[in-house]
Amino acid sequence: MSRLLLVRHGDTEFNSTRRFLGHTDIELSPEGLKQVRKLRDRLASEKIDLAYASDLKRAAMTARLISSGHELDIISSPELREINYGEVEGLTFDEISHRYPDVAKCCVDWSKDLKFPGGESFEEFTQRIGAFSAKLKNATEQTILVVAHGGPLRVLLCYLLGMELRHWRQFQLDVASLSIVSTHREIAIVNLLNDTSHLKETG
């Protein structure tokens, strides 16, 4: 059995203003740093054997802070990046609806035919997450930290649990949340999902 610690990065300026944030490489906000430090303290006693993180700053910084007390090398993983929103990066949904109504319509149900202008298609996005998930299936008797973004982690859960990708939007993963999945030879089991109890602690 292996344990996967799935972490979504801390808050950013785009997250707090509900803007589409994909490949735009911004850092954690002051609030995001505070959130991640609380998560780091929560995981301080965990024995972590391996760490993967998206190479975008907000995820890489989250991984570095969490790993700081573990003497752990982080494997930079571009395949864990959020979807590339192309020309709609940084826009709110209302702004997208006004400028790109066809894209907004596809966003409502995340059709497999969705492709962001100047960015990625939904199929391209899910294929690279699928390629990453294959790496985790070879892990045995390890605790692995995976730090990424909301979209990739939800798709990754579908792959790990053997669910159809159309269910990916049924997972809620908040910023600085922790989810834990144990993987066995034939099955994966969710032990914890979208836990943010550490953010409610004082200090």
Band (5; pLDDT cuts 50, 70, 90): very high
Which structure tokens are listed for 136?
């985790």
Residue 202 clears pLDDT 70, i.e. is over it: no
- The SS3 assignment for 162 reads coil
Closest of 71, 73, 91 to residue 22, by C-alpha: 91
List, in sequence order, every residue forming a beta bridge with 143; answer none if it has no partner: 3
**Averaged confidence pLDDT in the chain:** 93
Comparing 136 with 45, the larger pLDDT belongs to 45
pLDDT of residue 140: 78
Residue 172 clears pLDDT 70, i.e. is over it: yes
Kindly report whether the global pTM for this prediction surpasses the value 0.85: yes
> What is the biggest distance separating any 2 CA atoms in the chain, rounded to whole angstroms?
50
Alpha helices (runs of H) in the chain, residue ranges in sequence order? 13-16, 30-42, 57-67, 93-99, 101-109, 122-137, 150-161
Are 145 and 48 in contact by the 8 Å Cβ rule? The answer is yes
**Structural domains of the chain, ranges and CATH numbers in brackets:** 2-85+130-200 (3.40.50.1240)
In this structure, the number of other CB atoms found within 10 A of the CB of residue 79 comes to: 17
Band (32; pLDDT cuts 50, 70, 90): very high
pLDDT tens readout for residues 175-201: 999 999 999 888 899 999 999 999 996
By annotation, the residues acting in catalysis are: 9, 82
List, in sequence order, every residue forming a beta bridge with 171; answer none if it has no partner: none
Are 87 and 53 in contact by the 8 Å Cβ rule? The answer is no
Band (8; pLDDT cuts 50, 70, 90): very high
Are 48 and 144 in contact by the 8 Å Cβ rule? The answer is yes
Identity of residue 164: E
pLDDT of residue 16: 84
| Cα–Cα distance measured from residue 8 to residue 172, given in angstroms and rounded to the nearest whole number | 11
Closest of 157, 166, 107 to residue 136, by C-alpha: 157
What is the mean pLDDT of the segment spanning 24-40? Answer: 96
pLDDT tens readout for residues 84-138: 999 999 999 999 999 999 888 888 877 778 899 999 999 999 999 999 998 887 7
Closest of 136, 194, 197, 140 to residue 161, by C-alpha: 136
Residue 74 clears pLDDT 60, i.e. is over it: yes
Residues constituting the chain = 203
Residue 146 clears pLDDT 90, i.e. is over it: yes
